[in-house]
Amino acid sequence: MSGSKPDILWSPHHPDRYVICDSELGLYRIGPVGSSAETKAGTLPLSEETAATLLAINSDTPYMKCVAWYPKHEPECLLAVGQANGRVVLTSLGQSHNSTCKELVGKEFVPKHARQCNTLAWNPVDSNLLAAGLDKHRADFSVLIWDISSKFSPEASVASEKIRLSSVDLDSSTVVTKPLYELGQNDACLSLCWLLRDPKLLLAGMHRNLAIFDLRNTSQKTFVNTKAIQGVTVDPHFHDRVASFFEGQVAIWDLRKFEKPVLTLTEQPKPLTKVAWCPTRTGLLATLTRDSNIIRLYDMQHTPTPIGDETEPTIIERSVQPCESQIGSFAWHPSSQNRMVVVSAANRVMTDFTVFERISLAWSSTTSLMWACGRHLYDCVEDGAESVESVIEKDIATKMRQRAQSRYGHDTVQVWRNHLLAGGNDPQLKSLWYDLFYMKQCAEDMELKLQGNKQSVVYSGIKNIIKTSSGTTESRRCWSGSDRQTDVPRYLSEERSLALRLCGWISRGPDIDVEIFLRTLEQEREWERAAAVALFNLDIRRAIQILNKGATAEKGDLNLNVVAMALSGYTDEKSSLWREMCSSLRLQLKNPYLCVMFAFLTSEPGAYDGVLYESSVAVRDRVAFACMFLSDAQLPRYIDKLTNEMKEAGNLEGILLTGLTKDGVDLMESYVDRTGDVQTASFCMLKGSPGDVLKDPRVQCWIENYRNLLDAWRFWHKRAEFDIHRGKLDPSSKPLAQVFVSCNFCGKSISYSCSAMPHQGRGFSQYGVSGSPTKSKVTSCPGCRKPLPRCALCLMNMGTPVSNCPGTGKSDEKVDLTRENKLAQFNNWFTWCHNCRHGGHAGHMLSWFRDHTECPVSACTCKCMQLDTTGNLVPSDSS
């Protein structure tokens, strides 16, 4: 276009052809690099993959101001050119001319008064109609609609007196001076477009308003006063949405509510030169400002809202830079997704550019990773499926999901069994649940209950129990089965005995008897540990017996006989060769319990570091050993040091020391930070914890996160079971009743207690109900006796079952409240839509919406069931 920036037009029928128009028209064909097109003259690179070939040039139409491409297949490559003097010329770009094209090419449409032609638009349906927008003239119209197949008759003075040219009439005049329609008198037209919803409607950006002209009644128009009159364009995916701009601001209009813009985009610092809707992407608008190398994109997304609520669409704004130089114009490709060609403001440098979609990641609660890009949905599948599966199996989320399905944490009787529900292969979980089991046993002990606050002491942990120790007695026992006195002192007190019980070494009673514990270890084939415990209780003969039994057992270790033989040669002489050899060679033993056995026998009294700081030995065994052999001065220091180590490491074995106290919460916090196992943390803190611990924000956070996890997995039944379990252990967590069905007349609850109703002896006859009470319904409000609403389907009054109300049936009649019966009673529940307020019995509503989408009430078009996003979801834990 003479003296102006270039523009681009894509061919409506050939996806590989476009026209560049500035001072002349140039037709280009786009193709892949490396094809035969590259060798021809005039080939221009557009990107790394594509290049353009110049096919034809047309310089016959000077003073171009606007160009429009004929929308139909035939005649091919017909262009309308608007000139500075207002004339509209039909031209072509060197294509083979059939008779129709020859007839139209060169035809001119001349207005009465010469002035600039600003815009052209072909009618997309009736392609003979060409609309032209011109500058203002005081005695003429600014919107002229030409019929390209007509000629002006000098004898006729009205628009109806025109003749149609047949395809064989080749002598017709090439100049037409009489338009088919004249609109917009004494005004200027800066932009126009045909509305896609109705080919008879034309939207024009006039001097001070946007006007909609109806060709069926040209005397009237619909208009709205606005400054945003330039670049009007209709969204091809939403025919009621129109964009226009003024200087640096874009206005989005809804033709159904044409009073004001539904949205105004952020104003740009420089004036806009072009706006265009993407033809392949819904709601994507591109804008270009003057002297810029950036195209700004606006992605308009409508958020789902309840019916009747008005809201603006969500706008996601982003910028793309197709090239380094200033952009003169751009054009979306008509069929390739998000593809455009831009042309620079100088030298016709063109660039083929694809706007990449924003990538939305979605990581499901079941470890599936997917992302959406454009119209494609991708599922992440890594190489090496076996290794990926093993990684997923080790993930804590997968473990928690599997444990939730096995009802992990819900066994409140045999608490120790919860570690088996978790798989039974985690030693820390095994230690934790055995600790909680022993705490529960001690708390339920009748003797401890009679002693006041002992129950809370049990859950305070061995650290706090030892601090209250008093009356410790020291004793020196003989080796069991021998009269030889040992020089190892042992310490006894009530608190130390309680600690040994919590460690699982002894059962209830004043005497320290570990025989039951030893038999349990033998059954579990923990021969080395059993021998060490027997030795710590000064029964060396029992230790040797256990080792021999372990060596002769099926798949036993024969080396245990060698250890037993070495153990049998024990002597307490400090300078003996036995003691010297055991001290030097014990560290070569692989099993830690065998190692600490010889460390105990070769240690000086009170100096048992070789036993106490052997990290491979279970914490409970080291603590029990310390309670037996450390003095009142040594024991608290050791327990404090070990507790701090457990808290820092987040080792669940330390719960034995901290108990379910604030120290226990600190330890559990370290464990959760290390593993992310909020499931174990939630169940653990609920077991016997005092109220102040459960009110700790960290504990509440773990519990709520675990509840949210169950909901995310759609384990709604499991989450309900967890809430019930939590309510039993922490009554303060039970929510108060928040919802009840109230009467529309008196406002009282419909589930009004039957026992509070007057004249119970009259049964149900006063409510118009007869028959068995277990199958009866209260069809009127118990407070005001007004009838309840009717079901939209059966038209019967709604009501609630009253079989569980006292005094309504025979005294010897038992009500069946099994799970199946409770589920069946759900069919009688009140249900209603929060949007249209229609409803009925739950069973009837569910049955209706299995086959229908709209409300059962006639003339109501509400899609009740679809308003609830979880209405069609099925629980993953349904059984």
Instruction: Show the tokens assigned to 331.
Output: 């054009």
Strands 43-45 and 209-214 turn out to be unpaired
Report the range of poorest mean pLDDT among 218-227, 531-540, 600-609, 678-687: 600-609
d(CA 234, CA 785): 60
Concatenated DSSP letters of 523-569 = HTT-HHHHHHHHHHTT-HHHHHHHHHHHHHSTT--THHHHHHHHHHT
pLDDT digits (tens, 9 = 90+) for 73-111: 877 788 999 999 999 999 988 665 566 677 788 889 999
- Residue 708 three-state SS: helix
Tell me 654's DSSP state: G
Tell me 821's DSSP state: H
d(CA 864, CA 871): 10
Most confident of 71-75, 95-99, 222-226, 730-734: 222-226
pLDDT digits (tens, 9 = 90+) for 116-156: 999 999 999 998 999 999 999 888 899 999 998 876 544 43
pLDDT band at 457 (very low <50, low <70, confident <90, very high): confident
Q: What pLDDT score was predicted for residue 595?
A: 87
Instruction: Show the tokens assigned to 508.
Output: 């209830």
Does the structure show a pLDDT above 70 at 226?
A: yes
Beta strands in 207-271 (DSSP E): 209-214, 221-225, 230-234, 241-246, 249-254, 263-264
d(CA 542, CA 539): 5
Kindly report whether the peptide bond that precedes residue 75 is cis, defined as omega within 30 degrees of 0: yes
Tell me 617's DSSP state: S
Please, are residues 235 and 283 in contact by the beta-carbon 8 Å criterion? yes
pLDDT digits (tens, 9 = 90+) for 390-431: 666 778 888 999 999 999 999 888 888 998 998 888 899 999
Please, are residues 567 and 542 in contact by the beta-carbon 8 Å criterion? no
pLDDT band at 515 (very low <50, low <70, confident <90, very high): confident
Q: What is the mean pLDDT of residues 710-728?
A: 91
| Residue 602 amino acid letter | T
Kindly report whether the peptide bond that precedes residue 690 is cis, defined as omega within 30 degrees of 0: no
Q: What pLDDT score was predicted for residue 768?
A: 37
The whole-model pTM stands at 0.62
- Residue 66 three-state SS: strand
Q: Is residue 723 within a helix (H) or strand (E), and if so which, with residue range? A: helix 716-729
- ∠ CA(604), CA(607), CA(611), 5° rounding? 105
Instruction: Show the tokens assigned to 771.
Output: 């028959």
CB burial of residue 417 (10 Å; 0-12, 13-18, 19+): middle
d(CA 237, CA 146): 28
pLDDT digits (tens, 9 = 90+) for 523-538: 888 888 899 998 888 8
pLDDT digits (tens, 9 = 90+) for 280-328: 988 899 999 998 999 999 998 765 544 444 556 788 899 999 888 899 9
Q: What is the rounded average pLDDT for all residues in the chain? A: 81
β-bridge partners, 182: 144
Does the structure show a pLDDT above 60 at 34?
A: yes
Instruction: Give 134's contacts (C-beta < 8 A, 6+ positions apart).
Output: 86, 111, 115, 116, 117, 118, 142, 143, 144, 188, 189
d(CA 537, CA 722): 43
Q: What pLDDT score was predicted for residue 682?
A: 93
Report the range of poorest mean pLDDT among 55-69, 422-436, 865-879: 865-879
d(CA 346, CA 57): 18
| Among candidate residues 146, 243, 147, 234, the one with its CA nearest the CA of residue 197 | 234
* C-alpha of 751 from chain center: 38
Please, are residues 532 and 593 in contact by the beta-carbon 8 Å criterion? yes
State the Cα torsion 395-400-401-404 to the nearest 10°. 160
The CA distances from residue 733 to 431, 511, 677, 686, 719, in Å, are 28, 41, 22, 11, 14
Please, are residues 516 and 466 in contact by the beta-carbon 8 Å criterion? no
Domain definitions of the chain by residue range: 470-631, 826-867
Please state the φ and ψ torsions of residue 18, each to the nearest 5 degrees: -150, 165
d(CA 461, CA 449): 17
pLDDT digits (tens, 9 = 90+) for 352-383: 999 888 888 888 877 788 888 777 888 887 66
d(CA 49, CA 630): 81
d(CA 576, CA 582): 10
Please, are residues 399 and 622 in contact by the beta-carbon 8 Å criterion? no
Instruction: Show the tokens assigned to 417.
Output: 């069994």
d(CA 196, CA 203): 10
Q: What pLDDT score was predicted for residue 308?
A: 44
Instruction: Give 559's contacts (C-beta < 8 A, 6+ positions apart).
Output: 551
Instruction: Show the tokens assigned to 152.
Output: 């002006």
Please, are residues 158 and 137 in contact by the beta-carbon 8 Å criterion? no
d(CA 605, CA 603): 6
Q: Is residue 149 within a helix (H) or strand (E), and if so which, with residue range? A: none
d(CA 77, CA 75): 7
Instruction: Show the tokens assigned to 361.
Output: 């990641």
d(CA 26, CA 776): 86
Instruction: Give 592's contacts (C-beta < 8 A, 6+ positions apart).
Output: 614, 616, 617
d(CA 413, CA 409): 11
Bigger pLDDT: 483 or 267? 267
| Residue 260 amino acid letter | K
Q: What pLDDT score was predicted for residue 694?
A: 86
pLDDT band at 164 (very low <50, low <70, confident <90, very high): very low
Query: Which residue blocks in 371-486 are alpha helix, DSSP H?
Result: 385-394, 396-405, 418-421, 427-444, 446-449, 454-458, 462-467
CB burial of residue 787 (10 Å; 0-12, 13-18, 19+): middle
d(CA 623, CA 643): 11
